[in-house]
Amino acid sequence: MPAFQIEANISNPLNDLAENLIEIHDLKYSRGPRVIFEGLNLVIKRGEITALMGPSGTGKTTLLRLITRQLIPQHGTIHVDGVDISKLSLAQLYQLRTRFGMLFQNGALLTDLSVFENVAFPLREHTKLTNRLIRHVVLTKLHAVGLRGAADMMPAELSGGMARRVALARAMVMDPDILIYDEPFVGLDPISMGVIVRLVRRMNDALGITSIIVSHDVEEIATVADRSFLISNGKVAASGSPDELKVAQSDLVRQFMHGMADGPVAFHFDAPGYEEQLLGRDAE
């Protein structure tokens, strides 16, 4: 459980040894006429690093928003540690969210705050810790990502890799049970990427947390994930260890895992006939 919590009670029928931390059953979600998920079933096991992969536009980030109940499915259930999150009150939902840490794709650091204050921000907002204790916790988290010496720097002074590590320290500062990474490797040089991959694995194992990674980087995922889910056409197209997915015989899985240009996933988004649209015949 996290070290810092908002006061609210959530009935939790599972104990800390339950194997499945998140269970998604028959999930359906649409945006207007566009179907995002159509009967999605997925289980995230406690203590593992789980990767959510798939072609662009398959709803991976949308799934993260559903898991944290920023969005509500039209059908199906999402259980977090045995609790149906659709039935939580707002107070219970806010408490549940303290169990999540989030590393956003672009880091999302507050540009007018120093590195120290960026990491301290969740503690100042959600706890009543003294300044002395906040300083201790923040410096401990920055030390864990190798940036204790950068505490007084501003975000504009950081490299892309450093900014991502500061964002990771901020995501960890509330001691979450579940750490979510949305495209953590995008835009990083090979050295920074290697550092982030190592930190993801080390943080997960050292802290005993559960990690969820959304990523297109097949090679990096293969080095860090315990289990991967490939999402396509609103459902789980394949699941297993990264090594198992690499040798899968499905055309879709092979296309994605090996970066093949030709396959079930088309290059062109659905559109009217090219000549018809180009010549404007539909406007006549």
Mean pLDDT of 123-147: 90
Spatial CA neighbour of 182 closest among 78, 69, 65, 79: 65
Q: For residue range 104-122, what is the model confidence (pLDDT) as tens digits?
A: 877 688 889 999 999 999 9
The DSSP bridge partners found for residue 181 are: 103, 213
Position 17 confidence tier, pLDDT thresholds 50, 70, 90: low
Q: Give start and end residues of each alpha helix (H) in 127-249.
A: 131-144, 160-172, 190-207, 218-224, 242-246
Q: Hey, how many other C-beta atoms are within 10 angstroms of the C-beta on 2?
A: 16
Beta strand spans in 12-155 (E): 20-31, 34-45, 49-53, 75-80, 83-84, 100-103
Mean pLDDT of 250-274: 59
Q: pTM of this prediction?
A: 0.77
Spatial CA neighbour of 119 closest among 86, 69, 168: 168
Q: Hey, how many other C-beta atoms are within 10 angstroms of the C-beta on 153?
A: 15
Please give the pLDDT value at position 4.
Answer: 39
d(CA 110, CA 202): 26
Sheet holding 83-84, edge to edge: 34-45, 20-31, 75-80, 83-84
Spatial CA neighbour of 178 closest among 270, 275, 67: 67
For 173, list phi and psi in degrees, rounded to 5. -65, -25
Question: What residues contact 111, with CB distance under 8 A and at least 6 apart?
Answer: 154, 155, 156
Please give the pLDDT value at position 214.
Answer: 87
Is pLDDT larger for residue 4 or for residue 243? 243
Position 253 confidence tier, pLDDT thresholds 50, 70, 90: low
- 160-172 vs 190-207: helix axis angle to the nearest 10? 10
Is pLDDT larger for residue 252 or for residue 176? 176
Contact 235, 37 (CB under 8 A): yes
Domains observed in the chain: 19-99+179-184+213-261 (3.40.50.300)
Report how far apart, in Å, the C-alpha atoms of 44 and of each of 140, 181, 256 are.
29, 14, 22
d(CA 115, CA 271): 46
d(CA 146, CA 135): 16
Q: Hey, how many other C-beta atoms are within 10 angstroms of the C-beta on 71?
A: 14
Q: Is the dihedral of CA 8, 14, 18, 19 positive or negative?
A: negative
Position 134 confidence tier, pLDDT thresholds 50, 70, 90: very high
